[in-house]
Structure 1
Amino acid sequence: MMKKNILFLSISICLLACSAQSISKKDRDRVIKELEYIKKVDQEYAGIPPQMFKNKYGEKNAWKIFLAKRDSISLDNQKRIKKMFSKYGYLGFDKVGEEASNNFWISIQHADNDIEFQKQMLDEMRKEVIKNNVRRSDYALLEDRVNKNLGKKQRFGSQLDYNNLEQAVPKNGLADSINIDKLRKEFDLEPYKDYLNRMTQNHYRMNEKLFLEKGIKFPNLYK
């Protein structure tokens, strides 16, 4: 009797574990569509307020309303992906494909209000990287995000601030500036100077009106 009970318990545990990590074809299609929605609304509020916001609310109020909406969307997206993770585990390539897996990661990357959740997902992604089941670049960006949020130096330098010349610089500094390009290449990231210059140009374009008022007529790129 004891052996039967142990066997039954073992089978039950196995079934629970397997069900938490698997996804049916029907669920997969539904989850992929939901992840497409999550990315869409995330990206709508990822940059700066659109001109129609500024025209309607004024420059100052436009930012206030835009950021409040961004926070609301981010919290809703987090609830959605936490529910998915609880049911299916980490959604890597094997479960939803590369594009949808990246869409799943986006809301984790932006969950700065819940660093413990980001850390948990980073641990999960580390296992998936070993299996080539997530984008290595996504893992690198999340690692940097977690370290930035913890006030630590970054390995990949993806999380940025801007110096007095309005050049992109790594927030909190780099853990290893000498070997950064080698490390970035291993994780499918572009050379660091190219990245810093690209982000410096983006920063200038987003704030061009303000910079022109200060007499800054072009982005200060790294040579």
Structure 2
Amino acid sequence: MRSELAQRVAEDQALRVQLSTDAEPDMAVFERLSATDEANTAWMKDLVARHGWPTIARVDAAGAGDAWLLVQHADHDVDFQEHCLELLRVAVAADQASAKHLAYLEDRVAMHRGRPQRYGTQFVQAPEGQSGFVPHTLADEARVDEWRATVGLGPLAEYARGINGKNGNGED
């Protein structure tokens, strides 16, 4: 299970890196990525149905992180993401998964469901006339850094600078 998780994440990340570094996005790579995400989701559904959530005790911390990443990228199946969110909550409460991963998945599901996000982990393209990316709607802008700190995430402004490059405007 652990080696399969690592192999699937390696392929996932290789495709995403290729898309992010290509000057012109290649539709064939997009299609491969979509097929990879769907195959990974089907595999994770089977794994979760047979064994439950892949906890730190079962697959070590790196394996638990790999499981989270595959679910995080299952955007075509938000119902499954939401199901895993509940399993991840239980695992985090038992110190068997990362609270950071829980925050990212919670925000991802909220964004896909059209709800505000709590931790500010999910970004969208800036409005027309602006460059870069901005956080998806926040549940409470005044408390976002407080909530981020509780799960070990740094301030939102620092994260946004990282998302948008050194200058904070989408330029490196």
**Fold conserved between structures, TM > 0.5:** yes
**Other-structure match for 1:73:** 36
Q: 2:74 aligns with which of 111, 118, 122?
A: 111
- 2:56 matches 1:93: yes
Higher helix share: 1
Counterpart-to-counterpart distance in 2, 1:186 and 1:50: 31
Larger Rg: 1
Q: What's the % identity of the aligned pairs?
A: 25
Per the alignment, in what secondary structure is the counterpart of residue 79 of structure 2? Answer: helix
For 1:167 and 1:83, the matched residues in 2 are separated by 37
Partner residue of 2:45 out of 74, 82, 105: 82
Alignment partners' CA distance in 1, 2:138 and 2:156: 11
Note the alpha carbon deviations across 1:157-214, whole angstroms, 9 max, x for none: 111013233243112x100111111110101111110000110118xxxxxxxxxxxx
- Which secondary structure does the structure 2 equivalent of 1:119 belong to? helix
Q: Which runs of 4+ in 1 moved over 6 A?
A: none
Letter in 2 for 1:34: E
RMSD (CA atoms): 1.9
State the match for 1:201 in structure 2.
165
Q: 1:165 to 1:110 in 2, by over 3 A?
A: same
Query: SS of the residue aligned with 1:45?
Result: helix
With the length of structure 2 as denominator, give the TM-score of the two structures. 0.90
- In the alignment of these two chains, the number of paired residues is 168
Preserved CA contact (<8 Å) 1:109 1:145? yes
Name the TM-score, length of structure 1 as normaliser. 0.70
Instruction: For structure 2, list consecutive stretches of 5 or more residues without a partner in the other structure.
Output: none
1:50 deviation in Å?
7.1
Deviation at 1:119, TM superposition (A): 0.6
- Mark the runs of 5 or more structure 1 residues left unpaired by the alignment: 1-30, 203-217
Deviations 1:92-124 (A, max 9, x none): 111111000100111100111111101100011
